[in-house]
Amino acid sequence: MMLTEIMEHTHISCVLCCNCLSQPLTEMEAESSSGLLLTRKRRREPSATEIDDGERHVKIPRCTVGLKHPAPFADELEPADMKPYERVSMEEAKRGTPVNRPVRVYADGIFDVFHSGHARALMQAKCLFPNTHLIVGVCSDDLTHKYKGFTVMNEDERYDAVTHCRYVDEVVKNAPWTLTPEFLAKHRIDFVAHDDIPYSSAGSDDVYKHIKEAGMFAPTQRTEGISTSDIITRIVRDYDVYARRNLQRGYTAKELNGSFINEKKYNLQERVDKVKRKVRDVEEKSKEFVQKVEEKSIDLIQKWEEKSREFIGNFLQMFGPEGALKHMLKEGKGRMLQAISPRHSPENSPSREERSPSPTFRLPFFNKTSPSPSPLPHHSGARGYLISEDDDDDDEDEEN
């Protein structure tokens, strides 16, 4: 009963998942219904930066489809319906089958180093028809090593990886390399899903040729740029990098199948890389320091220029041709001249023109240039300075 509940829960969850991704499924169904073969490789989906702004806003309905249990193995399930095995045609499968009669699709593979390309292939197989029960066959180590080569993961690890894929409803362990009618009837398989590239192996040009001739083949697409061989190639190509990586994490050279010399070489390379990183960090910090100094020096120069302009402006305002100091000197000179100049005569006094002209003589010390020596006039007894005729008249009046 426990396994039956797990199967029902798995089937319902996968149906919900396909309903949530209704848009991609509709396109896939349209392609499969057209009867045309799909391309050999499935192009990688564009990243977030490659998606246009208009497409980025397209959302799918929010739903919870997470599974709580892995997919069960075929030998752990209860026997299927005892009715005779009758396949579903392609037309009936596309139209949709009853809930209690899902279309049983089989997909097999090695699934070594399980990656997104495997998951996408199983997703396509799951979404071929509206009501699909996906059975996944995983080949054993013996068959794989015989026909394809050595694997990174052993068969138990590969079985377990496939059971935890959300699109899988059932897993068949020790799957056959070539599908026989007995195997198809035992698992009541309606269609076989795989990419349409001819798979030559085990003395055959295409191990799926008889499946295609029987009309049971449903093609899927490969994901470009990701495969188990590509991943292994990356590791082999950058072996030294990954060997040093694992040595840093505590693995020994013996565990990495490396020699003592290689271990010392990797350790030396790691030390050299550390020194390079430190030098690079010092260079970056020095560049940042120089940049900060340049910014501060530029700020200081700008402030110095502003202060110098302000100082020059203040100096010119004070000592320039039209500066405040010149105005102060002019004003002081005017006040001095006003202070030493004689007062104006009263208004009722006779003016200088009305008075009788009388010759005046300036004292010698009032002249700008000293006069040449000349004989004194007859009034030489007047204490060394000249007196006008008006002054003589005044003196005569005083004597009288």
Q: Which of 118 and 63 is assigned the larger pLDDT?
A: 118
Laid out side by side, the sheet with 103-109 consists of: 170-173, 132-138, 103-109, 191-195, 217-220
**Which pLDDT does position 307 carry in this prediction?**
86
CATH of 90-223, one of 3.40.50.620, 1.20.1290.10, 3.10.580.10, 3.40.50.2300: 3.40.50.620
For residues 384 and 36, give the distance between their C-alpha atoms in angstroms, rounded to a whole number.
144
- 243: tokens are 């060997």
The residue with greater pLDDT, 278 or 344, is 278
Percent of the chain with pLDDT strictly greater than 70: 69
Statement: residue 32 has pLDDT above 90: no
Highest average pLDDT, of 147-161, 244-258, 357-371, comes from 147-161
Query: What pLDDT, in 10s, does the model give residues 125-165?
Result: 999 999 999 999 999 999 999 998 999 999 999 999 999 99
Question: If pLDDT is split at 50, 70 and 90, which confidence band does 29 have?
Answer: very low
Average pLDDT over residues 370-391: 45
Contact between 211 and 93 (Cβ < 8 Å)? no
Higher pLDDT, 397 or 181: 181
pLDDT, position 104: 94
**pLDDT average, residue stretch 231-241:** 90
CB atoms within 10 A of CB 386: 16
Pick the more confident residue, 316 or 163: 163
- pLDDT grade, residue 239 (50/70/90)? confident
Q: How far apart are CA 4 and CA 46, in angstroms?
A: 39
Q: What is the pLDDT of residue 180?
A: 93
CB count in 10 Å sphere of residue 346: 6
Strands 191-195 and 170-173 turn out to be: unpaired
Residues 244 and 267: their CA atoms lie apart, in Å, by 7
**Cα angle, residue 60 at apex, residues 56 and 66 outer, rounded to 5°:** 125
Exposure string (b/e) for 263-297, b if CB count within 10 Å is 16 or more?
beebeeeeeeeeeeeeeeeeeeeeeeeeeeeeeee
Count other C-beta atoms under 10 Å from residue 115's C-beta.
Answer: 16
Asked whether 136 and 172 are in contact (CB, 8 A), the reply is yes
Least confident of 62-66, 172-176, 367-371: 367-371
Which alpha helices (H) appear in the chain, and where do they start and end?
Answer: 2-20, 22-33, 53-56, 90-95, 116-126, 141-147, 155-163, 181-186, 209-213, 228-237, 239-248, 260-319, 324-340, 389-399
What CA–CA distance (Å, rounded) separates 71 from 273? Answer: 46
What's the pLDDT score for residue 66? 65
| pLDDT at residue number 377 | 45
Segment 317-323 mean pLDDT: 77
Specify the higher pLDDT residue, 365 or 57.
Answer: 57
* Collapsed DSSP state (helix, strand, coil) of residue 194: strand
Which pLDDT belongs to residue 348? 61
Q: What is the pLDDT of residue 165?
A: 95
Instruction: Read off the amino acid at residue 173.
Output: K
Q: Are strands 170-173 and 132-138 parallel, antiparallel or unpaired?
A: parallel
Lowest mean per-residue pLDDT among 125-139, 175-189, 267-281:
267-281
- Spatial contact of 28 and 130, defined as CB atoms under 8 Å apart: no
State how beta strands 103-109 and 191-195 pair: parallel
Residue 54 has pLDDT above 90, yes or no: no
Q: Whole-model pTM?
A: 0.56
pLDDT band at residue 8 using 50, 70 and 90 as cut-offs: very low
> CA–CA separation, 144 vs 45, rounded Å?
30
Closest CA to 102 of 80, 117, 124: 80
Q: How confident is the model at residue 378 (pLDDT cuts 50, 70, 90)?
A: very low
Say whether pLDDT at 223 is over 60: yes
More confident residue, 303 or 375: 303
The residue assigned the tokens 């093609």 is 219
Q: Does 43 or 124 have the greater pLDDT score?
A: 124
Answer whether residue 352 shows pLDDT above 80: no
Q: State yes or no: pLDDT of 240 exceeds 80.
A: yes
Q: Which two tokens stand for residue 22?
A: 């209704």
Mark residue 133 as left, alpha or beta (left: phi above 0; alpha: psi -120 to 50; beta: remaining).
Answer: beta
What share of the chain in percent tops pLDDT 90?
31
Q: What is the mean pLDDT of the chain?
A: 76
Kindly give, in sequence order, each residue whose CB lies less than 8 Å from that of residue 306, ignoring residues fewer than 6 positions away.
none
Does the pLDDT value for residue 172 go beyond 90?
yes
The pLDDT of residue 211 is 93
Query: What's the per-residue H, E or C state across 283-320?
Result: HHHHHHHHHHHHHHHHHHHHHHHHHHHHHHHHHHHHHC
pLDDT of 31 higher than 80: no
| DSSP notation for 30-92 | HHHHTTPPPPSEEPPPP-GGGS-HHHHT----------SSPPPBGGGSPP---S---PPPHHH
363 has a pLDDT exceeding 80 = no
Cα dihedral sign, 60-111-190-73: negative
**Mean pLDDT in residue range 34-44:** 42
